[in-house]
């Protein structure tokens, strides 16, 4: 039996402990569901999660990173309306200098775009403290989002543990029609699988249609694989990959990589690229997908058609490549955006911005009336450029969760750059195929990029690094440390929430909150604010508590703050119908026990405010089942604990830091 691309990379990076596992098949590949320890070649952090990751790394007492390469990016908290963000940047830069990391300065670009351009390599492993790290899968890298503590451990040379995923193959045939894009491919797979459909799986893209997609297009697709809940997504490394790497002056890192002809997949999905048309994700979920033409033809009370648009944003790690920006410039050339629309454009990197200047494409964008924003995440995480009250915003981003834009009652739609520009010009959701002829997009990608890495500060040599003083501002506080779980938990059910609770619900982002990512006590005031503004005070008053959720609890960002802040507030366990992958890992790392209902209907048998006892934990962790007793009514509910032996030990120790210290 042949191997998939992902299986080949996993096999090459396995850290085996034959006394404990994992169990392997005859090809030497771990069985699905086994705990897998991987050697990590590269790591990345960004500033919203990086401060905590470096505090955790420092606690380990390791003098220098032990990866092939680690990069600290500043791209999230670039809005410096107070001292907090600037202080964090100084701290991260000093940590990078002391411990041997590359440091990408503010304004150099979004971590995923820059990493794709300058560092990612086919066949390697990468984890990053950002859920969209799988962007590098567009270049044939096994790249996964992770919590900051997992990244810290990997930087120290430790293994990254995952549950061996299933393999899903998406076969692409045909070729995209004009004004149909890689973003529409992403939305189509979300329509098919939903935001829960990729949980526990790696999605591998193949078939003859793959060769028609450039690396930036492939990276858009792997980027949005995060919205499926997938472990990661990956493309082959082929002649298209080689050409891209050569254009970046990095042709030496190219290796060919493809799945074997007889590779076996758990599921196969076929998509005919030529049959797709422009798609749009409606509020408030990336899988709420319909055809653009449906909304463009929607009748209004005044006799017009098309949903009226207030704002358009082009950028984010999904659609900020030079390829995307040149298309936007070409469509805007000689045109003016609607007087009723505010439009922003955020190039993904300084390299992209420089090329827009060189080709005069930037003037085509600016002359249309669009606003140029910094090469950073910006509006995607609510860091500026929020919509007006009840505004309709079309964004080329990857998430449209309620309130994420910074305006709670805004309606955010996810679209391709072409659909975004069409709306900016007309002031309404418009099918771009009705505005332009097939040949009107004039985009010519360079054979060679102008490489300027002056905004990337390389590591110091070890002797010089040892002299570096760590700069700590007053906003940097200690992080909470978990306690050993014991055999019984007595908790109040302080919050009961529904399905698809995101990490934005648990620990919101935005310009008002993100500057306090290194200050857990301050952040705790905002925990679950979107769901219940009284949560923080009630949780503190309870002392020891449990949160109950529905399906797909913890989807979205990889932010470990969504575990660390509840830990600080006394949450000892979270019980849900099902969890998103990264959030389970973050809960375990924090020392919070993740549990699932054996019978999902039992969710309805308990209520907020009930006094709960979880008993038989020590034996139950081994058996995979514990008992919860509701002391309010005597109800007994069986709960599952699907944790590896290592995760069980972490929970018993009170979290990953305590576990690492004792091992």
Q: What is the pLDDT of residue 509?
A: 83
List, for residues 375-431, the tens digit of each pLDDT value: 999 999 888 899 999 999 999 999 999 989 889 999 999 999 999 999 999 999 999
CA end-to-end span of the chain: 38
Question: What's the pLDDT at 298?
Answer: 85
Given a cut of 90, whether residue 480 has pLDDT beyond it is no
Would you say residue 106 has pLDDT above 90? yes
- Higher per-residue pLDDT: 635 or 173: 173
Q: Tell me, yes or no, if 557 is annotated catalytic.
A: yes
**Looking at residue 220, what is its pLDDT?**
98
Beta-sheet pairing, 267-272 with 166-173: parallel
Q: Which whole number is the average pLDDT over 68-74? A: 98
How do residues 429-451 score in pLDDT, each as one tens digit? 999 999 998 777 878 889 999 99
Q: Are 472 and 519 in contact (CB under 8 A)?
A: no
Q: Answer whether residue 548 shows pLDDT above 80.
A: yes
Backbone angles phi, psi at 533, to 5 degrees: -65, -15
Residue 78 has pLDDT above 80, yes or no: yes
- Residue 623, burial from CB neighbour count under 10 angstroms (0-12, 13-18, 19+): exposed
Q: Which residue among the candidates 112, 284, 399, 433 is catalytic per the annotation?
A: 399
Helices (H) and strands (E) in the chain, counts: 22, 26
Kindly state the tokens that stand for 260.
């074997």
Find the angle CA(407)-CA(408)-CA(412) to the nearest 5 degrees: 75
For residues 54 and 45, the answer to whether their CB atoms sit within 8 Å is: yes
Q: Can you give the pTM of this predicted structure?
A: 0.92
Tracing tokens 């929020």 back to the chain, one arrives at: 386
Tokens read off for 568: 């600080």
**For position 431, what pLDDT does the model report?**
97
Could you say which of 557, 558, 578, 644 is catalytic? 557
Q: List the one residue out of 179, 155, 203, 401 whose CA is nearest residue 284.
A: 401
* Predicted local confidence at residue 643, as pLDDT: 93
Residue 376 is encoded by which pair of tokens?
Answer: 């950073």
Burial class for 124, CB neighbours closer than 10 Å (0-12, 13-18, 19+): buried
The dihedral over CA atoms of 371, 421, 226, 373, expressed in degrees to the nearest 10, equals -10
> Which of 218, 428, 517, 559 is labelled catalytic?
559
**How many CB atoms neighbour CB 1 within 10 A?**
11
Q: Give the pLDDT confidence of 500-511 residue by residue, as tens digits.
A: 999 999 998 887
Residue ranges of alpha helices (H) inside 495-640 are: 503-506, 520-523, 535-542, 561-568, 581-590, 617-623
Spatial CB neighbours of 538, under 8 Å, sequence gap ≥ 6: 494, 495
**Distances from the Cα of 544 to the Cα of 153, 198, 233, 491, 585, angstroms:** 28, 33, 38, 5, 21
HSE (CB half, 13 Å, CA atoms) of 91?
Answer: 25
3-state secondary structure 148-198: HHHHHHHHCCCCEEEECCEEEEEEEECCCCCCCCHHHHHHHHHHHHCCCCC
- What is the predicted pLDDT for the residue at 563? 95
pLDDT in tens, 143-191: 999 999 999 999 999 999 999 999 999 999 999 999 999 999 999 999 9
CA atoms within 13 A on the CB side of 92: 31
Backbone angles phi, psi at 601, to 5 degrees: -65, -20
Of the residues 35, 41, 47, 75, which is catalytic?
75
Helix (H) or strand (E) holding 585: helix 581-590
The rounded distance, in Å, linking the Cα atoms of 566 and 553 is 14
69-102 exposure pattern, b = at least 16 Cβ within 10 A, e = fewer: bbbbbbbbbbeeeeebbbbbbebbbbbbbbbbbb
Q: What is the pLDDT of residue 90?
A: 96
Is 89 among the catalytic positions?
no
Residue 578 binned pLDDT confidence (cut-offs 50, 70, 90): very high
Q: What is the pLDDT of residues 12-48, one digit of tens each?
A: 999 876 556 788 998 889 999 999 999 999 999 999 8
Give the pair of three-digit tokens for residue 248: 């970046």
Residue 62 pLDDT level (bands cut at 50, 70, 90): very high
Average pLDDT over residues 208-225: 98
pLDDT reported for residue 18: 56
| Strands 611-615 and 593-597, bridge-based pairing | unpaired
Of the listed 13, 76, 115, 161, which one is catalytic?
76
Indicate the DSSP class of residue 52.
H
Whether 15 and 22 have beta carbons less than 8 Å apart is answered as no
**pLDDT, mean of residues 353-372:** 97
Task: Provide the 10 A C-beta neighbour count for residue 222.
Answer: 30
Q: How many residues does the chain have?
A: 663
Residue 214, phi then psi, degrees to nearest 5: -75, 170
The arrangement of strands across the sheet holding 102-104 comes to: 142-145, 125-128, 42-46, 69-73, 102-104, 456-457
CA nearest neighbour of 201 among 122, 121, 135, 265 = 265
User: What is the Cα–Cα distance from 479 to 481, expressed in whole angstroms?
Assistant: 7
Strands (E), 427-497: 456-457, 488-496
| pLDDT value at residue 2 | 94
Please tell me whether residue 462 adopts helix, strand or coil conformation: helix
Residue 575: strand pairing partners: 548, 595
Q: In whole angstroms, give the CA distance from residue 327 to residue 179.
A: 10
Other Cβ atoms within 10 Å of 371 Cβ, number: 14
Which pLDDT score, from 0 to 100, does residue 20 have? Answer: 67
Mark whether 104 is an active-site residue: no
In this prediction, residues 105-122 reach a mean pLDDT of 98
Q: How far apart are CA 420 and CA 379, in angstroms?
A: 15
Per-state percent for the chain, helix, strand, coil, to nearest 5? 35, 20, 45
pLDDT-based confidence at residue 654 (cuts at 50, 70, 90): very high
Rounded to the nearest integer, the mean pLDDT of the chain is 94
Helix 561-568 to helix 47-59 angle (10° resolution) is 60
What is the CA 576 to chain-centroid distance, rounded? Answer: 21
Where is average pLDDT lowest: 227-241, 360-374, 425-439? Answer: 425-439
CA nearest to 605, candidates 582, 579, 577: 577
Half-sphere exposure of residue 268: CA atoms within 13 angstroms, side-chain side: 9
Q: How far is CA 41 from the centre of its chain?
A: 19
Q: How far is 99 from 264, CA to CA, in rounded Å?
A: 42
* Contacts of 16 by beta carbon, 8 Å cutoff, 6+ apart: 22, 37
SS3 of residue 410 by DSSP: coil
The answer to whether 76 is a known catalytic residue is yes
Sequence-ordered strand ranges (E) for 177-277: 201-206, 232-234, 267-272
């Amino acid at each position: 039996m042949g191997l998939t691309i992902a299986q080949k990379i996993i096999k090459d990076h396995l850290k085996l402990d034959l006394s404990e596992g994992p169990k392997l098949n005859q090809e030497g590949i771990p069985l699905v569901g086994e705990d897998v320890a991987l050697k990590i070649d590269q790591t990345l952090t960004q500033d919203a999660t990086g401060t905590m990751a470096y505090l955790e790394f420092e606690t380990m007492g390791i003098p220098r990173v032990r990866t092939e390469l680690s990069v600290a990016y500043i791209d999230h908290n670039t809005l410096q309306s107070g001292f907090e963000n600037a202080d964090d940047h100084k701290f991260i830069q000093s940590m990078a200098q002391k411990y041997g990391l590359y440091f990408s300065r503010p304004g150099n670009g979004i971590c995923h775009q820059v990493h794709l351009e300058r560092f990612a390599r086919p066949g390697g492993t990468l984890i990053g403290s950002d859920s969209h790290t799988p962007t590098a899968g567009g270049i044939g890298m096994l790249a996964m989002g992770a919590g900051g503590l997992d990244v810290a451990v990997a930087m120290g040379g430790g293994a990254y543990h995952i549950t061996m995923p299933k393999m899903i193959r998406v076969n692409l045939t045909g070729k995209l029609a004009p004004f149909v894009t890689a973003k529409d491919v992403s939305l189509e797979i979300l329509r098919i699988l939903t935001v829960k459909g990729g949980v526990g799986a790696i999605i591998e893209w193949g078939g003859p249609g793959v060769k028609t997609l450039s690396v930036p297009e492939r990276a858009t697709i792997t980027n949005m694989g995060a919205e499926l809940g997938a472990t990661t997504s990956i493309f082959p490394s082929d002649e298209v990959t080689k050409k891209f790497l050569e254009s970046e002056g990095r042709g030496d890192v190219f290796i060919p990589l493809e799945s074997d002809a007889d590779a076996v997949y758990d599921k196969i999905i076929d998509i005919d690229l030529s049959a797709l048309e422009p798609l749009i994700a409606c509020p408030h979920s990336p899988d709420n997908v319909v055809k653009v033409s449906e909304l463009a033809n929607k009748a209004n009370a005044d006799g017009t058609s098309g949903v009226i648009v207030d704002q358009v944003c082009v950028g984010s790690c999904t659609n900020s490549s030079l390829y995307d920006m040149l298309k936007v410039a070409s469509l805007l050339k000689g045109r003016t955006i609607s007087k009723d629309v505010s439009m922003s454009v955020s190039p993904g990197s300084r390299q992209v911005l420089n090329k827009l200047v060189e080709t005069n494409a930037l003037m085509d964008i600016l002359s249309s009336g669009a606003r140029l924003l910094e090469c950073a995440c910006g509006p995607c995480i609510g860091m500026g450029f929020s919509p007006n009250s009840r505004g309709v915003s079309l964004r080329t981003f990857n998430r449209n969760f309620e309130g994420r834009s910074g305006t709670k009652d805004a309606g955010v739609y996810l679209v391709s750059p072409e659909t975004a520009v069409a709306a900016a010009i007309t002031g309404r959701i418009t099918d771009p195929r009705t505005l332009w002829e097939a040949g009107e997009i004039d985009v010519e990608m360079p054979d060679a990029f102008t490489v300027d890495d002056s905004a990337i500060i390389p590591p110091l040599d070890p002797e010089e690094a040892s002299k570096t003083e760590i700069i700590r501002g007053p906003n940097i506080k200690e992080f909470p440390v978990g306690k050993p779980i014991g055999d019984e938990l007595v908790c109040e059910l302080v919050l009961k929430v529904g399905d698809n609770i995101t990490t934005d619900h648990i620990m919101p982002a935005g310009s008002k909150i993100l500057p306090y990512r290194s200050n857990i006590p301050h952040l705790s005031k905002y925990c679950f604010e979107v769901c219940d503004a009284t949560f923080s005070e009630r949780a503190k008053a309870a002392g020891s508590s449990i949160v109950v959720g529905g399906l797909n609890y913890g989807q979205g960002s990889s932010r470990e703050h969504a575990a660390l802040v509840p830990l600080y507030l006394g949450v000892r366990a979270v019980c849900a119908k099902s969890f998103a992958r990264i959030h389970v890992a973050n809960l375990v790392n924090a020392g919070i026990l993740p549990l699932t209902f054996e019978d999902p209907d039992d969710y309805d048998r308990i209520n907020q405010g009930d006094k709960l006892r979880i008993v038989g934990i020590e034996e139950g962790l081994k058996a995979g089942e514990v008992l919860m007793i509701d002391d309010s009514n005597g109800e007994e509910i069986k709960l599952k604990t699907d944790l590896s032996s290592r995760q069980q030990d972490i929970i018993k120790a009170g979290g990953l830091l305590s576990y690492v210290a004792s091992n």
